[in-house]
Structure formats: C-alpha cells, structure tokens
Structure 1
Amino acid sequence: MNTTAQDLKTWLTDRIAFYLEVPADTISPDVKLVEYGLESVYALALCGDVEDEFGIEVEPTLAWDHPTVDALAQLLEERLAGAPAA
C-alpha cells in the first residue's frame, strides 16, 4: 500500500469531521482533537476505522497519544512503512 502523508491527513480529517458532524475544511491538522470536542467513544471508533482501513493494529489511546491530525498521520505513515511506532 502506497499511502502518502497527505492521503492519510485527508482520510483522518474526513473521518473526524464525520464524527463531529462538521465540514472537513473546519478541521485544522495542527489543532488538538479534544479542542474540537472529540469524545472518547469517537476516538475509539477512529481506532477501529484505522484498523479496518489500513490493516494495522493501533492502541485504543491512539487519539490521545497523537492528539492532532498531523501527529496521527505521521504515526500511521511510519506504521504503514514498517517503521517502529513511537
């Protein structure tokens, strides 16, 4: 799978916007998701979405350990490339 960082950011932004019921263009990649009001139930759902979409296992604390779209995309890019997770 050849997924770019921009592809990951777009996918993550779309999923988060879906959960928050806001337009994707209102989600900034460097703002903490908790500042948008992302609740824990949606953070866990995002973990499941990541696992389903990319076929990698992630910790249930993913959105708290990597609290922005930029941080999440960087982690996923590393994981997808086979680099050890931070």
Structure 2
Amino acid sequence: MEAAQTPRTAAELGDWLTRTVADYVRCDPAEIDPDVPLSDYGLDSISATTVCADIEDHFGLPVEVTLIWDHPTIGKLSQALAEELETAVR
C-alpha cells in the first residue's frame, strides 16, 4: 500500500487493526468489538508481537510490543497509533 493510501485516522486504523487481529484470532472481523480487550479474543503475547511487526511493516512506524498491552482494545490502540503517526509526520 502506498503512503498516500495508508490509513491515518483512528477509524481507518481501527478497521485495519480489526481485520488484522481477526486474522490472528481466527474470527470474522464483525465479531471484534473495538471496546473489548484483545486478550478476551485470545490474542496472546506471540500474536501481539506479530501484530506489532505488522504495524511496523505496514505503516513504517516502529512500535514497542507493550503498545498493545498499554492500549488493550482496538479503539484505544487505533487512537494511540493515529497520534503516533501524526507525530511521526511532523
């Protein structure tokens, strides 16, 4: 995906994260509630590390694996990533 097409808003990031997490926990993205902790869906430390690597690869934004534990829901994580991406652009 080109940089111009890369999701930047919290809503766009939330959609991308929902699809990504759903792939890892093997469920339909529609089953992921943005306000439910990711651990409730079975996202473990190995999957969390892989999601962080996907974020780095997809957005070119280095993130610590603790980001997921500090922001344990799709809603909180997407907001944090939107803020990080905004800061990185400046």
Alignment partner, residue 51 of structure 2? 46
After TM superposition, give the deviation of residue 3 of structure 1 in Å: 1.6
CA RMSD in angstroms, aligned pairs only: 1.3
Q: Which amino acid aligns with 1:16?
A: V
Alignment partner, residue 11 of structure 1? 16
Q: Which runs of 4+ in 1 moved over 4 A?
A: none
Give TM-score scaled by structure 1 length: 0.90
After TM superposition, give the deviation of residue 60 of structure 1 in Å: 1.6
After TM superposition, give the deviation of residue 6 of structure 1 in Å: 1.2
| Residue 26 of structure 2 is aligned to residue 37 of structure 1 | no
* Structure 1 residues not aligned, in runs of 5+: none
Measure, in 1, the Cα distance between the counterparts of 2:60 and 2:66: 17
Identity of matched residues, %:
47
Give TM-score scaled by structure 2 length: 0.87
Residue 27 of structure 1 is aligned with which of 15, 23, 32?
A: 32
Structure with the largest fraction of helix: 2
Measure, in 1, the Cα distance between the counterparts of 2:8 and 2:64: 20
After TM superposition, give the deviation of residue 13 of structure 1 in Å: 0.2
Alignment partner, residue 74 of structure 1? 79
Q: Which moved more, 1:67-76 or 1:54-63?
A: 54-63
Measure, in 2, the Cα distance between the counterparts of 1:74 and 1:5: 5
The aligned length equals 83
* Structure 2 residues not aligned, in runs of 5+: none
Per-residue deviation, residues 7-52 of structure 1 (Å, max 9, x unmatched):
1000000000000010000000000001111111100000000001
